[in-house]
Structure 1
Amino acid sequence: MAGARLRRDRPRAAAAATAVLLRRRSAEDARLRPSDLWTSCWRCVSPPWLLAYRALVVVVMSSLLVKEVLADGIFSFFFYTQWTFTLVIIYFVIATLISAHGCWIYSKQEVIGKEEANGLLKHDIEDNGPGTLTLKTNNEKARLQSENDQEVNEKRAGTLGYVMQITYQTCGGAVMLTDIVFWCLLVPTSADHFSVNLIAACMHSLNAVFLLLDTALNNLPFPLFRMIYFVFWTFIYVIFQWVLHACGFTWWPYPFMELATPWAPMWYIAVALAHIPCYGSYWLIAKAKKTFSPKFFPDAYTSSY
């Protein structure tokens, strides 16, 4: 009797253990490691190169936004495009600051690594004696100091690191929504009274290009469940527009936001549903990089998640 009950309980216990392992593995995959913020997934791209790219993007995108604001004034920020463009700049500013901090950690690790290599060389040359013990002690102190410094620095970067990750994931869906709606909906339907100038074309293309290049280089995870931040970002913009119209504004920046038309509910539902393929497409790009890069570039690609 007891043996039969034990045999019946074994599959349940195995299933429960498997579920726990899967949940733990999923949590580990989604966990943000401090070094993921400023290291690249490619061995040939060092942290200083990633820092240089992010800083260059900040300069280029900020210049475009300044030109847009100088041309149209504060009116520019009535549009979702400028909101998203500004959010992408904020992401790259945070990423640049964290990359600079990471390069400082990286330089300290390099110096300590060279000191340890020199110590091993001296160890091979010198005879065993008191100096060898002193050398080992000094190297051990240096290693412990490096580990302690890295642990402290990683703890300090924790909150800002998660802000950077959330901003990055929000930007991923937002740039897809912005550019797809602009090029596939607004430009074709408004061609008679709307012309695309150079700044508008850059703002509706470079935002995605720069972010996709960063995705190709960075080591950040892109979990699917974080789509809620993207939806919340668009929700804030819609509330902003509704508040403006409650205060007396009558002009809508996008025709599908007009509440007085009978098709308004359908438009809002359609745009809300569009968040799923927009975020999903960017998630698929990040997933494809993680899946196929180790297969095609096993010696060059490295990832911590």
Structure 2
Amino acid sequence: MFESPVEEGWRYWVRWQVPVCGLIIAIPCVFALKFIRKSMTKPLLLSDLWSTHWRHLSPSWLLLYRAFAFVCCVQLLYEIVALHGPFVFFFYTQWTMALVAIYFALGTVVSAYGYWCPSRKTRSKTEEDVKLMEKDLKKNVDIVKEDTIKVQNECAQQEFQEKAGCLGTLMQMAYLAAAGASVLTDVVFWCLLVPFLLGENFQVSLLIGSIHALNAVFLLGDTALNSLSFPFGGFAYFVAFGGLYVIFQWTVHACCVNWWPYPFFELSTPWAPLWYLGLAVIHIPCYGIYALIVKAKYSLLPRLFPHAFVKSF
């Protein structure tokens, strides 16, 4: 039986497994943070965040879907916290669900802005330009009409090129990290924990099953509707999120908590480096699975719905 970090004190943290496991977590996180810093300079279009690829589907449906998913995620988090207390946030599952809720919160705000504000902004700018043209070009009504159409097209094109800003960037980051985290959460729970730990001390209730399934379901529904890209470089956000969770676990265990929520976090076993290496490596297929789903979206949906799904704008 392994002693807890609280029981052993500082001796628990000076064993050889600790720096090895620390390097296994720290090295990918350092590269991930460097990549994130570089990717922050790349432009992100607002239209990519709130529009859809479905020809006859209004973006308002994506807005409503994101608002509905946000409410459901918050409700699930509220119910599990009310049942078990804030202690549940020691688990990666609740971190993932909170991240999914943050994504849908940001997505709702950005969708609302993209759906309403640009049209009003474009319309007001167009009206001002029309008034100026009518004042300066009173000679020919046909010329005024032609220039009005030209101004409207230019305004629409300028709006399409509007940058997403800080809020949109955070939304994209949350989307990429939440996608990989949801796959990791559900795969570990349904393929590892349930088959091997299910018994008298571990039961799957409706709430537990829902919180380990609806995170991915809501994201997949959003992916089917949205126009967001899913670059492989987004893997860095997923890695940074996982590293932040491990840092949180090590910190609380060094301070006050005398147990690990997952047995593979235990550092006193000689197999700890292999467990941590496995945790680091499993991030790759989890993110890759979601990337393949997005790739299938752009390859299969245009064939299945050639008149409804627009592959690119």
Task: Name the TM-score class by shorter chain.
Answer: 0.7 to 0.9
Tell me what 1:131 maps to. Answer: 141
Tell me what 2:86 maps to. Answer: 74
* Counterpart contact for 1:54–1:92, Cα < 8 Å: yes
Tell me what 2:70 maps to. Answer: 58
Q: 1:281 to 1:252 in 2, by over 3 A?
A: same
Tell me what 1:36 maps to. Answer: 48
TM-score w.r.t. structure 2 length?
A: 0.76
Tell me what 2:302 maps to. Answer: 294
Q: CA RMSD in A?
A: 2.5
Write the distance in 2 (CA, Å) between the matches of 1:111 and 1:49.
22
Write the distance in 2 (CA, Å) between the matches of 1:232 and 1:138.
49
Amino acid at match of 1:248: C
Tell me what 1:238 maps to. Answer: 246
Deviations 1:65-88 (CA, angstroms, capped at 9, x unpaired): 111111122101111000010000
Tell me what 2:59 maps to. Answer: 47
* Deviation of the 1:302 alpha carbon: 1.4
Tell me what 2:258 maps to. Answer: 250
Amino acid at match of 2:183: M
Q: Which runs of 5+ in 1 are unaligned?
A: 1-26, 116-128
* Deviation of the 1:141 alpha carbon: 4.9
Most deviating of 255-264 and 294-303: 294-303
* Counterpart contact for 1:256–1:264, Cα < 8 Å: yes
Most deviating of 221-230 and 138-147: 138-147
* Counterpart contact for 2:176–2:230, Cα < 8 Å: yes
TM-score w.r.t. structure 1 length?
A: 0.78
Tell me what 1:124 maps to. Answer: none
Write the distance in 2 (CA, Å) between the matches of 1:110 and 1:31.
21
Highest relative contact order (Cα 8 Å, sep 6+), 1 or 2?
Answer: 2
Q: 1:143 to 1:277 in 2, by over 3 A?
A: closer
* Deviation of the 1:139 alpha carbon: 4.5
Which of 158, 162, 187 matches 2:194?
Answer: 187
* Deviation of the 1:304 alpha carbon: 3.3
Amino acid at match of 1:69: V
* Counterpart contact for 2:47–2:160, Cα < 8 Å: no
Most deviating of 207-216 and 267-276: 267-276
* Deviation of the 1:105 alpha carbon: 4.3
Does residue 93 of structure 1 match 2:93? no
* Counterpart contact for 1:32–1:221, Cα < 8 Å: no
* Counterpart contact for 2:46–2:160, Cα < 8 Å: no
Larger radius of gyration, structure 1 or 2? Answer: 1
Tell me what 2:236 maps to. Answer: 228
* Deviation of the 1:144 alpha carbon: 5.0
Write the distance in 2 (CA, Å) between the matches of 1:241 and 1:247.
10
Write the distance in 2 (CA, Å) between the matches of 1:43 and 1:198.
37
Deviations 1:168-218 (CA, angstroms, capped at 9, x unpaired): 011111000000101111112211210111111110000000001111111
Write the distance in 1 (CA, Å) between the matches of 2:249 and 2:287.
23
Does residue 281 of structure 1 match 2:289? yes
Q: 1:288 to 1:31 in 2, by over 3 A?
A: farther
Tell me what 1:172 maps to. Answer: 179
Amino acid at match of 1:34: L
Which of 144, 168, 173 matches 1:161?
Answer: 168
Tell me what 1:208 maps to. Answer: 216
Write the distance in 1 (CA, Å) between the matches of 2:156 and 2:310.
23
Q: How many residues align?
A: 259
Q: 1:141 to 1:44 in 2, by over 3 A?
A: closer
Amino acid at match of 1:250: N
* Deviation of the 1:110 alpha carbon: 9.8
Write the distance in 2 (CA, Å) between the matches of 1:303 and 1:160.
25
Most deviating of 185-194 and 135-144: 135-144
* Counterpart contact for 2:45–2:160, Cα < 8 Å: no
Write the distance in 2 (CA, Å) between the matches of 1:142 and 1:40.
22
* Counterpart contact for 1:32–1:220, Cα < 8 Å: no
Write the distance in 2 (CA, Å) between the matches of 1:163 and 1:272.
24
Which of 278, 283, 290 matches 1:270?
Answer: 278
